[in-house]
Amino acid sequence: MATEKPELSAHEVKEMLKEGQEVSGAYIPRLNLSKMQLDFPIQIVDCEIGTLDLNRADVPDKVTVRRCKIDMCVLSEATFHDKVDFKKCSIGRGRFQRVTFEQTVNFSEASLAYSSFHQSEFKDKTDFSRCTFVGDATFTEVNFASNVKFIHSKYKERGIYHKCQFHGKADFKNIEVAKDMELKGSTAHSELLLNSSVIQLSLNLIGAHLEGKTDFASVSVGRNLSLTGVTVGEDQSFRFINSSAGTIVFEREIVEGHVWPEQEGDYAAAAREYGFLRTAFEHINRFDDEDWAYYQFKRNERRGMPMSYNPIDLLMRAGNYLFLDIGCGYGTKPLRTLAVIAIIVAFFGGFYLLGVPVPPGVDYGVSWPAFNKVMHSLYCSMLAFSGSVADAQLKGGFRLLGMIEYALGVVFMGLFIVAFSRKVIR
């Protein structure tokens, strides 16, 4: 390493640290503190270090290594009992395997090249915000017991987070990834925030388990956003608004009942979420799931309309609910329309049962008079529903009921034809 900084040996640095001095502005070819029980804080600032070796060290005091350029940093199997600060450091290669950080850790604005964190544990708040990861940023089987921030970080290759545990908020907002972002097999017990991030290739959460809020709002993914094999907890919720991806691969069961704005009662925003899901399902030819998303979109759109006590608005709102929602599921549920038709026929048949007599000589193949009376009332109701009010031989007020039933028949038969045709055509 060519440098104009004055050179200090490892022995000189150790003596300065033992005396509580800060080491600054020096070139240190190799600082070996491995396998040591350190009883002094480490304070190194604005230095150039060939190798910083804290392998298997036990460090009870603070570690402050700021604005340093480090060719090789080894912290494997070390234990840090106090705060650790590597802010604005540049690390050419790092090995952080089975490291335990008991207190807060700060790698903000650092440059980490070809560095891997394996089976390490961060027990307090951790800050990797505004970092630059050169080569793959590799975090495997890492346990983040508290909040961790990667906001505004840049990944020159891939971001790999395999089988990690995020117990606190995992904040990846506004990250930039040149290739893939992978959280395969990881568990997010709290919020997982990826909103406003740009990922050039794929975002994979294959086999992940999510238990809090997962935010994909305004995410831009060049290829695939994959949620294949994801499992969710009861309190899990998703937000996708304004996100874009070449293809989104996921199961309806993952998001059903877990749309973030809907859980918070913001139905207008929930409608936009379901609009996005509808388009995503259409893109992967999942038409039944598209119908489900469209129904939820229209349902939340109606629920999100401002409440008005104008009689006309209330009437239109009630009609929207009764005819379009209940009646046919906004054109997605023809079987529901048939069920409503059956209820209408039975309902009006109950009125006809009270006052429409069975004509002499009319029977329905059974000699039981009560059965014939019930069947005749249903027969009259079906005739009225289909428009044959005269054939039903209704008189007096029952003729008015027949007209009302006929009007409902026109509406619901039309809804059934539209909904059924839509299903067949699709």
- pLDDT one-digit tens code per residue, 298-313: 999 998 888 777 888 7
pLDDT of 2 > 60? The answer is no
> What's residue 29's pLDDT?
95
> What's residue 390's pLDDT?
63
Q: What integer is the mean pLDDT of 202-206?
A: 96
Q: Are residues 71 and 112 in the same domain?
A: yes
> What's residue 392's pLDDT?
65
Q: Are residues 346 and 242 in the same domain?
A: no
Q: Are residues 97 and 4 in the same domain?
A: yes
**Is residue 99 a part of any domain in this protein?**
yes
- pLDDT one-digit tens code per residue, 20-75: 999 999 999 999 999 888 889 999 999 999 999 999 999 999 999 999 999 999 99
Q: Are residues 110 and 4 in the same domain?
A: yes
Q: Which residue has the tokens 């993914």?
A: 221
CA 66, CA 69: separation in Å to the nearest integer? 9
SS3 300: helix
Alpha helices in 80-178 (DSSP H): none
Q: What integer is the mean pLDDT of 393-420?
A: 86
Q: What integer is the mean pLDDT of 319-342?
A: 86
Q: Are residues 327 and 238 in the same domain?
A: no
**Is residue 265 a part of any domain in this protein?**
no
Q: Are residues 73 and 85 in the same domain?
A: yes
**Residues pairing with 49 in the sheet:** 28, 70
Q: Where are the beta strands (DSSP E) in 18-134?
A: 23-24, 27-32, 42-45, 48-53, 58-59, 63-66, 69-74, 79-80, 84-85, 90-97, 100-101, 105-106, 111-113, 115-118, 121-122, 126-127, 132-134
Question: Are 133 and 112 contacting, i.e. CB atoms less than 8 angstroms apart?
Answer: yes
Q: Are residues 169 and 214 in the same domain?
A: yes
**Is residue 102 a part of any domain in this protein?**
yes
Question: Are 194 and 172 contacting, i.e. CB atoms less than 8 angstroms apart?
Answer: yes
pLDDT tier, 389 (very low <50, low <70, confident <90, very high otherwise): low
| Final residue before a domain boundary, out of 195, 229, 258 | 258
- DSSP per residue, 244-291: EEEEEE--HHHHTT-BHHHHTT-HHHHHHHHHHHHHHHHHTT-HHHHH
**Is residue 268 a part of any domain in this protein?**
no
> What's residue 324's pLDDT?
83
CA 33, CA 17: separation in Å to the nearest integer? 12
Q: In what helix (H) or strand (E) does residue 188 lie, and over which residues does it extend? A: strand 187-188
In terms of residue numbers, what domain contains 186?
128-258
Alpha carbon separation from 286 to 35, 247, 296, 309, 410 (Å, rounded)? 58, 13, 15, 39, 32
| Final residue before a domain boundary, out of 77, 94, 126 | 126
Please provide the average confidence, as pLDDT, over all residues in the chain. Answer: 91
Packing angle, helices 397-425 and 334-355, rounded to 10: 170
CA 38, CA 414: separation in Å to the nearest integer? 82
Q: Are residues 115 and 134 in the same domain?
A: no
> What's residue 67's pLDDT?
96
- Number of domain units in the chain: 3
Question: Are 48 and 42 contacting, i.e. CB atoms less than 8 angstroms apart?
Answer: no
Q: Which residue has the higher pLDDT, 424 or 73?
A: 73
SS3 425: helix
Q: Are residues 47 and 149 in the same domain?
A: no
Token duo for residue 183? 């959280």
